[in-house]
Structure 1
Amino acid sequence: MERLRRRLPPLTALVVFEAAARLQSFTLAAQEMCITQAAVSRQVRLLEGHLGNPLFIRNHRSVALTTAGQRLFEAVDESLERIAQASTEIRSDASGAVTIAATVCMATYWLMPRLDAFQQQHPQVALRLFALDREVDLRAENVDMAITCGNEGQRHGVRMSHLMDEVLVPLCSPGYLQGRTLSEPQQLLGERLLNLDREHWRGFNWAVADWGAWFDQMNVRGVLPPARLAFNNHAQQIQATVDGRGIALGSPHMLADLLVDGRLVEALPQRYATRRGYYLAVNEHSSRPRAVAALHTWLQGEGHAATA
């Protein structure tokens, strides 16, 4: 450590230098750091003296990095960012909270309604819920657990276990049908179908599962009705379905609570098994293994109950 200290420039000067280099201004750096412009200049001169090279070209109203300054800035910027990220992760670890990620729809309609019961049984476990409509890299993003659709896309150190199969069925509100009864998939070509926009799928490695795929599975041929209302968020699509705006494809397992309380009904019984499933992805490098294991066991039980 003694040798490292002798090799390193003054650390305060490095922090001041990073601000001045990033902002290309001693004045703005002074304002950001709540010190005087003269103090910024002193720290930069101290650093230049330590390195034996000028770091800035001083103009009348601005500064620019020299070649040596640019080289140092790139190293300092990367190093300070890594320190800041590590500090954030350590503070998160210190909170003792288990971070679980899921899509917005899964988090809203399946996960959140079950977390109160989990915490009643495990009051010592704090939770942080990340609702994200994109793939999550558990290791890189310091996430303890995620609910994913499919068991691919995670790197070494992430353990996958099956939660429940993905099955899609046409759903609507009771009010949408207004007493009508649908009996054949072909009839849906004349209905108001709610669509997920292609933008929704860009954040995932999952195959698109939309009305076109459902009709193919049902061997229905015909022109799909134009998308009168499309969403880039599955949760908004389901909420619009509950509000009676049309028929949407949804998972009866994920949306079991809405079906049980009658807010949604199956417009048709024909189900499309996508041959993929929802999985629990567990970060094996989590700093809270016992809490993660408790949540994992609980969620697996809930997943099995939903499909029983």
Structure 2
Amino acid sequence: MKLPPLKSLPVFEAVARLNSFSQAANELHISQSAISHHIKALEDYLGEQLFFRLGRKLELTSEGKAYLDQVSSSLNQIARASESIKGETEARLRLAVYSSFAVYWLIPRLHKLKRQHPNLDLTIEMTFSEPELSDRTADCFITIDKEKRGFDFEWFYTERLFPVCSQSLLQDMISTLEVKTKQELEIKLKQQPELIAQFPLITSYSMYESYAEDWRRWFAEEDREMPAETTFHRFSHLMLAHEAAIHSLGIALVNDYMFNETQPQDGLVKLPCSTHTSSDSFYIAYKHSRRHEPALQVLRRWLRSELNELTPPSSMNVISG
């Protein structure tokens, strides 16, 4: 087996991750000239340039990016194998999740994870868009992606959207629609769901990458056309739409993990209307080669055990990519 200069691999990984020779030198407690020596030795061995150096700017070449993905994965596997032999059955783990899911569902539950598994050192990587499924990004992902070579995907949650508003806006609706109680409002909205468009609607772009598409689909499920005169407040992300509803800007479509009907804590009220099942399902994603790692198994089991406030699957569905 012919191997590259092994001491140079952690150096390459640090430089690529930090995008800096000097920061890598500080992290590894060696001189910057030593860093340069290791990178040159590795490039000479491979016969490929790993970095573009433009003054102080450093950038991986295409060969460097491909090599980093493999090297990072291998170094992580060596570290985890060593921890396992040493008896450290729960170790560091990075979980990449969407911002709204992290804020409204995951973080309020992390104290339970810490209490049940005190040796699991979990880092949360918050993303506003689809994360790159790679060891360089995280060890485990909550994602709507369900296909990538070398990854397994476990069904976690299918998104359902329903309209909510503040208590003050609810009273405005009752007054404007000339009903006396929420029960009477429910009857009226079930008969004429298009009446909801008499009030400002809050839409988010991130759901379908188009403003008002979330509401258009909701009206379609009600077998209604969305009224042309509808007034919208537009926000880039669902999390912002949720906050806007709290502050009485209008009616927003939110999902199960953002709103607990039995224990509402944000002052919002779920309107007596139908629920729209979106086209997105969330999956727990991880590398197939790492599926038996103790820390990853602990996290996967815990995430599934916390699904009691979301819609549970009829059976666990694991897809291998």
After TM superposition, the score normalised by the length of structure 1 is: 0.64
1:186 alignment counterpart: 194
* Alpha-carbon distance in 1 for matches of 2:231, 2:239: 21
* Alpha-carbon distance in 2 for matches of 1:196, 1:4: 50
Task: Pick closer, same or farther for the CA change 1:231–1:163 going to 2, 3 Å.
Answer: same
2:231 alignment counterpart: 226
Alpha-carbon shift at residue 249 of structure 1 (Å): 0.6
Q: Any conservation in 2 of the 1:104–1:234 contact (CA below 8 Å)? A: no
Letter in 2 for 1:226: T
Q: Any conservation in 2 of the 1:139–1:285 contact (CA below 8 Å)? A: no
Q: Any conservation in 2 of the 1:101–1:147 contact (CA below 8 Å)? A: yes
Q: Any conservation in 1 of the 2:155–2:281 contact (CA below 8 Å)? A: yes
> Which one is further off, 210-219 or 298-307?
298-307
Unaligned runs of 5+ in 2: 13-20, 26-32, 54-58, 84-90, 175-181, 313-321
Residue 138 of structure 1 aligns to a residue in which SS? coil
Residue 257 of structure 2 aligns to a residue in which SS? coil
1:174 aligns with 2:167: yes
2:30 alignment counterpart: none
1:120 aligns with 2:115: yes
* Alpha-carbon distance in 2 for matches of 1:141, 1:283: 12
* Alpha-carbon distance in 1 for matches of 2:221, 2:254: 15
Task: Pick closer, same or farther for the CA change 1:141–1:225 going to 2, 3 Å.
Answer: farther
Structure 1: 4+ residue segments shifted above 6 A: 1-5, 91-95
Unaligned runs of 5+ in 1: 6-10, 16-28, 34-39, 52-70
- State how many pairs are aligned: 244
1:160 alignment counterpart: 153
Q: Deviations over 1:24-71 (max 9, x none)?
A: xxxxx9xxx9xxxxxx9xx9xxx9xxx9xxxxxxxxxxxxxxxxxxx8
Q: Deviations over 1:108-152 (max 9, x none)?
A: 101111111111100100111112121123226442222223x53
Alpha-carbon shift at residue 247 of structure 1 (Å): 0.8
* Alpha-carbon distance in 2 for matches of 1:165, 1:91: 32
Letter in 2 for 1:107: A
1:108 alignment counterpart: 103
1:307 aligns with 2:311: yes
Which protein shows a greater Rg? 1
After TM superposition, the score normalised by the length of structure 2 is: 0.62
Task: Pick closer, same or farther for the CA change 1:104–1:209 going to 2, 3 Å.
Answer: farther
Q: Any conservation in 1 of the 2:140–2:286 contact (CA below 8 Å)? A: yes
Q: Deviations over 1:78-131 (max 9, x none)?
A: 377756995799589689421111211111101111111111100100111112
* Alpha-carbon distance in 2 for matches of 1:3, 1:141: 22
1:147 alignment counterpart: 142
2:244 alignment counterpart: 240
Q: Any conservation in 1 of the 2:51–2:64 contact (CA below 8 Å)? A: no
Q: CA RMSD in A?
A: 4.2
Residue 175 of structure 1 aligns to a residue in which SS? helix
1:261 aligns with 2:264: yes
